[in-house]
Structure formats: structure tokens, C-alpha cells
Structure 1
């Protein structure tokens, strides 16, 4: 691994390159925070994909792409005199120190849950009006639900155990089925949302990340379906010509390739 000196040199190199690109490259000179925003979101998802794939080379690459974006935003802000990269780094350092009084102060904690609870209390002292204020509005709904639940737990609003949550899941499932039978689409949608929210809550109690779990299932389905397409094509046939029972045989073959 690199020494601290090497790490600082590498960061200084990135800052130098960023300055040169901003001053000399037509594309880089043209960029604004708004124009970079969607690219940053894309890079974040690419990092998330690499993490799920456990591909360390891609993780390294995607972290680098995101580091470039952070330096880029700071460089743009420095041009208008708002802040620079040193202000950014000092701000996060100050926040980390203030939010960890059990490390940098004399506060005693019993474990992870108390650290999380103290974190939310400290955020309220910093001026947040609600423990939910820090949940970004543009988060995907599943991730947002998970963060809402985690933050509510930090404020002490939570179930006592997983069994209680599972009972709630079953209750929401019954309510959803009831509305399906009623035929009222709006109520069906509302109850389906409640069911999903309760399942995400249950996953949290089991230490399962629902976003990761669903994405793994997505990838598994894609693998099996594309295998089936290729196998059917290799047999000189087309999916549209097969019955569901015939497709299931290829599907089972795809499943066997995962073992």
C-alpha cells in the first residue's frame, strides 16, 4: 500500500490536472454543476454495480471517477469565490469530529445503535428541524424508504423485534389482497406501497439490504433469461414459438449453470 506521502502526492496530482483541464480543455471549461449532475449520478450507479459484482478493479476505477467529480465541483465553486476543496475537506472533518464525541470527546456509548441515535440527536442540534430532513427527495423510492426507517429508528421510533414486523407484513398483505378483490385501483396501489414499506422494514431487522437483494435478483433473472434466449436460438427456435412449459425447461437449465 502507498504511504501517506504518496497519497497526498496523488491527490495533489489530481488537483493539478483538474486545474489544467479547467483552464485549457474546451469541454471542461464549458461544464457547470448542473451539467455534471447527471453524470455524477451515473458514476454513482456504476460504482454501486461494481460493488455488487465484487470487482475491485472496477471499484477502484469508479471511485476515481467520483473523486474527479468532487474535485470538479469544488474547482467550479472556487471560481465564484464560494469555497474550494480545502473548505470541503475541512467541513467534513469538522462534522465527523463533532458527530463522534465518543471518539473526540468524553461521551460513552454501548454500541453501534447508540452511536446512530446520538448521530441523529446531534444533527437536530445542528439545526435540522426533523430527523427525516436529511433524506434526499430524489432518492429511488426503495432506498428512500430504507433511509426513512433507519432515521426513525435513530430517534427511537421503531418496532421491538422482527416478529412484530413480520406480523405487520402479513397484515399489509391481507389488506392489499382485500383491495385487489374490491377492484379499486387507487386503494390497491396505496396498500401495495404499504406492503413494500413493511417488507423493507422486515429486511432491515434481518440485516438485509433490500436494494442490494433486489438488484441481485434482477441480475439473476437477466442471466437466466439471456441464457434461455441463447439456448433456444442455438436449438434453431424462437422464444415466441415455445409454450411456457417448454420455456421452463430452458429456465431450469439456466438455474443449473449457477450451481
Structure 2
């Protein structure tokens, strides 16, 4: 078996790895549930390579991600459900159907018109799926994946609801809602009710996700950037502790804050 630029070789390799007689014992032990987490992880690693603008890593991570549908399709084939050809047919059919302005007779000008048509087709698709399942009243929220990170799912849920006018009228209104939820968090904390505190913090995070959407900010990306900033600044704090020959745990909050304020000031000077 030799490497190849042809995707058919990847399909052959995956089939060989899953061969009951001569395949890899680890690969043979896997199922959809155990591979699912790898699929999610590989998608995040692709996103990370893009954020770092590391195209060598991106090429490798895209390969790892590409393996995932091949893996799932091989297991589905073994179970008699579908194969990779069915997957490819399905996505090509969907792309052709959702782009009638490219592959059909509809003439549209501009990205906004194309996006509107795309959304209208998706509404039709949701209704068709619901009919197949016997659900005569499909919800706008039915196909928002449960597996999405909670912050990203909150943004998507509010975006869907906004399509039918269920939305705050402006940024100031959502900001007021965030302030209201923060006050309710404080009340729950003072009450000592752990369940209520959990619920109110969830409501606050949901409101913040809505605030980000109103501001045109991707909350998941914004939080990811904040995590990166915190990590970079904390690395500086640790380096300053080493420079002063003191363990972070023994430095005390005042000294750690002083180091933190140094890197904050440096960041502001560069912005």
C-alpha cells in the first residue's frame, strides 16, 4: 500500500484498517460513539491552525479531518447503512439544490440575495425532514446541533429566533437584559441556593451570547481570543516570577497583580 493524492486510496486504507481478519485491532474496536470525539477534536485543530496561519499544520490537520467522514462512512457501510459514495452524492446534490443561481435558471445579484435564497431553501428542507418524521409543525430550532459548544449554540438559537422577529430591538435593550441577569446572579448567590445560582449564571451567559450577536461579534471566537490573551498574559506572570526567583503560589496576589498590570500596560501601549 502506497500513499496517493487520490481519495480512493484513503478509502482503501480505511477499509484495510477495519478488515476483520487483517485490520488494526484498535480501529476494529471503534464505533461511531468512540470516533465522534475525535471528529470534533480534529475540527478544532483545523480552526487552531487557521488562527495561527500555519499552513503546514493546516494541510496536516485537514488530512486528519478528512479521515473522519471516511472512517464513519466505512463503519456505516459495514452496518449496511450507507457508504462514502452516498455521502458524496448527498452533499453534491445539496450544493446544487441550494445554489440555483449558479446551477439553475434563477438569476440573482449579490451575496445578500444568494444568502436569502439559501435560507429559504433550508426552511423547505427542514419542513421536508419534519414531514418524513411525521412532525407537521417543525421548529426553527430543530436542527441546531446539541453537540455545539454551549456559547456557540446559544448564539445560533437566538439568531434563529430573530428570523421571526423574536429578538431585542437594539443593543441597548440586550445590554439592559445582561445587567438584569447579573443582578439576579447576585441575588441567587446571596440566597445560598446553589441550583438557582447555576440557573442564573446560565441565563447570564445566554444573555451575553445574545449581546454578542447584536453587536455582530461571534461569541465563541471572542471567548477563544480572550482565552488566548489570558494564557499569554499569565505566561508573562510566570516568567516574571521566575525572573524574581519566586514560585507563583508563594508570590501573593499583590505581586501577581503587579506583574499582570505590567503586561496589560504593555499591550495597551502597542494597541
Question: Relative to 1, partners in 2 of residues 1:178 and 1:30: Cα closer, same or farther, differing over 3 Å?
Answer: closer
Once the 2 structures are TM-superposed, how far is the Cα of residue 20 of structure 1 from its aligned partner? Answer: 3.7
How many pairs were matched up? Answer: 252
Distance (Å, rounded) in 2 between the aligned partners of 1:162 and 1:174: 19
2:131 is equivalent to residue 135 of structure 1:
no
Once the 2 structures are TM-superposed, how far is the Cα of residue 112 of structure 1 from its aligned partner? Answer: 6.5
Distance (Å, rounded) in 2 between the aligned partners of 1:45 and 1:240: 32
Partner of 2:133: none
Question: Relative to 1, partners in 2 of residues 1:205 and 1:241: Cα closer, same or farther, differing over 3 Å?
Answer: same
8 Å CA contact 1:131–1:155 kept in 2: the answer is: no
For residue 128 of structure 2, the aligned residue among 108, 126, 129 is: 126
TM-score by length of 2: 0.79
8 Å CA contact 2:237–2:256 kept in 1: the answer is: yes
Distance (Å, rounded) in 2 between the aligned partners of 1:155 and 1:71: 38
Distance (Å, rounded) in 2 between the aligned partners of 1:106 and 1:52: 36
8 Å CA contact 1:165–1:202 kept in 2: the answer is: yes
Partner of 1:5: none
Q: Deviations over 1:130-160 (max 9, x none)?
A: 2211122233321221221222233443333
2:7 is equivalent to residue 21 of structure 1:
no
Distance (Å, rounded) in 1 between the aligned partners of 2:120 and 2:165: 11
Once the 2 structures are TM-superposed, how far is the Cα of residue 183 of structure 1 from its aligned partner? Answer: 4.2
Partner of 1:217: 226
Partner of 2:77: 78
Partner of 2:44: 45
Q: Deviations over 1:4-54 (max 9, x none)?
A: xxxx95323322333343344424344332332222222222223223333
Distance (Å, rounded) in 2 between the aligned partners of 1:111 and 1:172: 37
2:208 is equivalent to residue 208 of structure 1:
no
8 Å CA contact 2:108–2:114 kept in 1: the answer is: no
Distance (Å, rounded) in 2 between the aligned partners of 1:124 and 1:105: 23
Q: Deviations over 1:184-234 (max 9, x none)?
A: 433333222222111111111222111111111112112221221232123
8 Å CA contact 1:121–1:155 kept in 2: the answer is: no
Distance (Å, rounded) in 2 between the aligned partners of 1:52 and 1:152: 30
Once the 2 structures are TM-superposed, how far is the Cα of residue 77 of structure 1 from its aligned partner? Answer: 1.8
Distance (Å, rounded) in 2 between the aligned partners of 1:72 and 1:148: 30
Partner of 1:106: 106
Matches within 5 A, 1:220-239: 220-239=229-248
Structure 1 gaps of 5+ residues are 1-7
For residue 189 of structure 1, the aligned residue among 198, 207, 221 is: 198
Moved more, 190-199 or 167-176: 167-176
Question: Relative to 1, partners in 2 of residues 1:32 and 1:146: Cα closer, same or farther, differing over 3 Å?
Answer: same
8 Å CA contact 2:181–2:203 kept in 1: the answer is: yes
Matches within 5 A, 1:135-174: 135-174=144-183
Structure 2 gaps of 5+ residues are 131-137
Q: Give 3-state SS (helix, strand or coil) of 1:253's partner.
A: helix
